[in-house]
Chains A and B, each alone.
Chain A
């Protein structure tokens, strides 16, 4: 075990898989000489060469479409979007081609698309989005949103091994801020299994990605009130661990669904609806949602602060639930 940043953990996981399996290759913009916009693939081209660490033209369609073709020919591509926001330019190749090919034509498409996502540093409307809900609506895709360095590595290795197209959302605000112990050896973390980030008895927070830490800070503030908070980190939103969520809800009877993406039609709505359908009798309060308001992600710090759910928002939401 060694202490690693979230970013190092991603980088290590990817490098280890490339060493172990020569079918794995990286394609993206500036991933080679530059090592990627966030340096996840720094040094990779020296180690693996130009044909396994491929600097692509500015062509998201060709990157993801090309990864799909290569995957069908037996490779294990890991494509990088420079920012998650640009995945819109590859929409068709994920939603139209990759997601449906196994179902209609019997041809699996084992690709991973890495998506540096999320806000918190004035990236503005085009460098801050959390587009996991767009894709969680698409049967045939998988959406992974690690929160911890340990998961970042284990989930990435699982994503590469998975025979399906996997979108791997890596939160930019966690890259260098979050450090923790990461096992040195190779391990996989299963897709679709939630993790209890914090155990508690009174209120459940269901969340993922960077919001796990927002929820954690908020829970500390509630310690003084004698309210014990349980945090369920979904880890993957497609598939999502319904059983773990329902189990926690049955224990605490109160639940807050929290995400950084906007509210309407966000994945939290699916979770809230499922809880209402399947655990209504166990609830002692209406399911609460905290999410970004329905606007594009703003640039200026006070606006962005008003957009991204803050610790205070979560504290208030938890108190309301506790007092209900």
Chain B
């Protein structure tokens, strides 16, 4: 079909042209490590019984999340999902608050009212996801509508999984965005599985991005384990939207490298598939690229990894010090007050 398949990014020079200097690249690497580290540490805390409820990770999707978030402008907004920890990390959410959220503590972004990745810092331009997928897509389109009405050069980014793409919300969101050429970019985290359901039972076409044509905008498929390729495609799409060129559907192809959540051993995923995709681990890929193309030294590598380790240790310590929420806070904020409208977006 007509959808474009993105080229990988090659040399340091090409990357510079795409807008990233060496500092940015090291920052991306660091964000990738933090993203994976937060989820690995979270998993340990979960097994230690410190995290109630369930636990989800985005292992395998780190490059896709970090790549897109790196391409967003400071005033852009987004609605990341349960595989997109990298978006929160890249936008600057402090890891200790993420751990506090995981553990249901009073200092988590939702103050214990919601769990796992159901959180966001609105000051960083992120909106907290709901469980119902992909209900945040129409909301992202609404953000873009506000930008369009006010003629602001801002873009909204909406994420969805290839499974949730089967729901009507995805259709209504993309159709409205297409009809009104709104400044929104749709990112499909295509990790090949929706819980235990494979892609051919979710959609009958080759690429999900093929659907873009039906809504009158462009679709592109990108290797979601290549952080630089994701960055470049997201950047193109975001800048196009900003300039009035309308939406783009960017499909990031990955494999969900663990079960749907920690209770699921993913017995239904062929072992060879895991083996094949393990060779394309997004962190390892980018690390080798940095060594080959950007002269990443052993010392630098150690310094970054050590820094991330210290950050996470400190984050867990601080989160663990945060109190459990006061039961009396249950009824707080069911209704907003006029003062609540003094948020960054409500002017």
Contact = CB atoms under 8 A, between A and B. Distances in A.
Interface string A62-106: 101111111111110100000000000000110011001111111
B208 interface: no
B142 A108 contact: no
Interface in B129-146: 130-132, 135-146
Interface residues of A, number: 43
A140 interface: yes
Contacts of B175: 57, 59, 62
B138 A103 contact: no
A51 interface: yes
Interface residues on B, range: 35 or more
Interface of A: 25, 27, 51-52, 54, 56-57, 59, 61-62, 64-75, 77, 92-93, 96-97, 100-110, 139-140, 142, 163-164
Contacts of A106: 109-110, 122, 333, 340, 343
B336 A110 contact: yes
A110 B149 contact: no
Given A52-B149, A65-B169, A69-B139, A110 B341 contact: yes
A57 B138 CA distance: 13
Nearest to A69: B142
Given A57-B176, A74-B345, A65 B122 contact: no
Given A74-B347, A96-B132, A163-B340, A102 B333 contact: yes
Interface stretch (B87-95, B112-120, B234-242): B112-120
B346 A108 contact: yes
A101 B140 CA distance: 14
Contacts of A52: 149
10 contacts: A61-B173, A62-B172, A65-B142, A66-B142, A68-B142, A70-B142, A73-B143, A97-B136, A97-B139, A106-B109
A104 B142 contact: no
A139 B156 CA distance: 28
Contacts of A54: 145, 180
Given A51-B148, A97-B135, A107 B127 contact: yes
Given A69-B141, A93-B139, A104-B118, 13 more contacts: A51-B149, A57-B179, A61-B138, A70-B146, A72-B127, A93-B135, A93-B138, A102-B335, A105-B128, A107-B122, A108-B343, A163-B336, A164-B336
B335 A140 contact: yes
A19 to B, nearest CB: 16
B72 to A, nearest CB: 15
Contact of B146 (A74, A102, A107): A74
Contacts, number: 155
A61 B335 contact: no
Nearest to A161: B338
A103 B169 CA distance: 23
A99 B283 CA distance: 39
A187 to B, nearest CB: 18
A284 B323 CA distance: 51
Contacts of B150: 75
B37 to A, nearest CB: 24
A75 B142 CA distance: 10
Nearest to A239: B335
Contacts of A100: 130
Contact of A62 (B136, B138, B147, B148): B138
